A and B are shown apart, each in its own frame.
Chain A
Amino acid sequence: MRQFDQELRDLRDGILSMAGLAEQMIDLTSQALSERSRAKSDEVLALDRNLDEWELKLDRLCVDMLALRAPAATDLRLIASSLKIVPELERIGDHCCNIARRATYVHPPILSSGSLERLAQETRSMVRMAVDSFIGSDAGLARTVIQADDSVDALYGSIYRELLRLMMSDPLCIERASHLILVIKNWERIADQATNIAEEVLFILEGRSAKHTYLQDNPVE
């Protein structure tokens, strides 16, 4: 195997390692929330350092390859998109930390049964699909992720409205509801990160941007 091919493989493996970490943090964050677990919150915060380390390592690898290998075509698209995917994964970790820090402040539950868990589950599913689309070079799956974001946005909106109603009807729950608004906002942002990753996967696979389709003549099908 050429040295450059090995470096590209290292990059893909590194992104998969980051994705594995991000998914692990999402699972721990969900558990910390549902179990009101300080220990799991701490575990999430600790894992974030690993994601940060990976980000620095992969940033350096990408810049080195751009400088030394003069990549073209698929190689160039993989490296250019990796420079965007890596920060998205790192941000997922940051959002998990933001949620995990509030795990002990949102109890006892005030939301209707299951809506918060459903938001977490749908978001987690989007991240998994985005990563799978990267691993499997699956453009169809990447498009599914992009479409799924609307569902998460709608769910976020409905929970947000429910929290507003709760705060207006019972001032005693305002503190918990305020924390919950930030929690759901962070879940919703993680879904956005998954969408951004899926858009980059489409760019790697198809060579044209899937972003801001309202500005372009290349709508996501």
Chain B
Amino acid sequence: MEIDDPRPIPEPARLAVPPPQSGLRPAAFEQPDLPLTDPSVLTAPIMVKVERLNLFYGEKQALFDINLSVARNSVMSFIGPSGCGKSTLLRCLNRMNDLIDDVRIEGRALLGDADLYAPETDVIALRKRAGMVFQKSNPFPKSIFENVAYGLRIQGEGNSKVLEEAVERSLMGAGLWDEVKDRLKDSAQGLSGGQQQRLCIARTLAVRPEVILMDEPCSALDPIATARVEELILELKRDFTIVIVTHNMQQAARVSDHTAFFWMGKLIETGLTEKMFTNPGQRMTEDYITGRFG
């Protein structure tokens, strides 16, 4: 529209803007009544289930009455501030907390039908079913091939053809095969940070786990390596169930089907990731994902 006589912009009639809704009131917070499982996963086959789980380090309680389900072939992100218990819960899922003195766990954690904390549970066999990828890539000071074959070797597999097939399959699964297939005998320490992390994922895949637990797997990687690992996660969920702890909210939004938000050892909210990031049900979740926490 042709206008030759622009006028000054008048003040709006009303500028009574409500104050921004932010800030937490931890003292007033009470854990909401949470359903035993997120309704959105009730219809899916459940791979991991946590029921009324409490964890204590000595006298100090670190996890409070956690109920959570992870659907098979899905990605679940654990988010929350440092010290909220998300890594502690992740470690409960393959009993890595057993390695810490003075830990006491109440409640149940199920991997498929297996009760992880039943007295008869074979912890070594359990850890084969739930592989772990850590924050910092930790390749062994061995060749690329031996890093991937390591898990199978300590299980007693000595057949070189079986090992070769497993290494190739695992490196392909981790999206690393094309980059290393001509130098499998080279030291794994010579790989880039992103490649080392994918090597660690390949090492986890080699023993054919059912669940992959990832504890901030991209926090030490650059954006390109991070993008590759995230793409890999989306591919891996076709064959595996993945639980990932991340401080990167956008990463949780990008890779996970479901998100669980923890605060001070309590599960505040869990649900479909789209819902959690567009319209969370709990005020604390809203404050955390919008950066207004505390």
Top 6 closest pairs, chain A to chain B, by CB: A207-B279, A20-B12, A49-B3, A16-B12, A72-B289, A20-B13
Nearest to B279 among chain A residues (CB) is A207
The bracket for how many chain B residues form the interface is: 20 to 34
Does A54 lie at the interface of the complex (its beta carbon under 8 Å from any beta carbon of B)?
A: yes
Does A76 lie at the interface of the complex (its beta carbon under 8 Å from any beta carbon of B)?
A: yes
A53 CB, nearest partner CB in chain B, Å:
8
Contacts of A74 in B (CB 8 A): 21, 286, 290
The bracket for how many chain A residues form the interface is: 35 or more
Cβ-defined partner of B16 (8 Å) among A1, A42, A45, A135: A135
A70 touches B250 (CB 8 A): yes
A-side interface mostly: helix
Does B1 lie at the interface of the complex (its beta carbon under 8 Å from any beta carbon of A)?
A: yes
B278 touches A2 (CB 8 A): no
A18 and B6 alpha carbons, distance in the complex (Å): 15
Nearest to A12 among chain B residues (CB) is B17
Does B280 lie at the interface of the complex (its beta carbon under 8 Å from any beta carbon of A)?
A: yes
Known A20-B13, A23-B13; judge A50-B279 contact (CB<8 A). no
Contacts of B290 in A (CB 8 A): 71-75
B13 touches A70 (CB 8 A): no
Does B88 lie at the interface of the complex (its beta carbon under 8 Å from any beta carbon of A)?
A: no
Chain A proximity mask over B270-287: 1 for CB below 8 Å, otherwise 0: 000000011110000110
Contacts of A45 in B (CB 8 A): 1, 3
Contacts of B7 in A (CB 8 A): 43, 46-47, 49-50
Known A49-B6, A71-B290, A207-B279; judge A16-B14 contact (CB<8 A). yes
Does B249 lie at the interface of the complex (its beta carbon under 8 Å from any beta carbon of A)?
A: yes
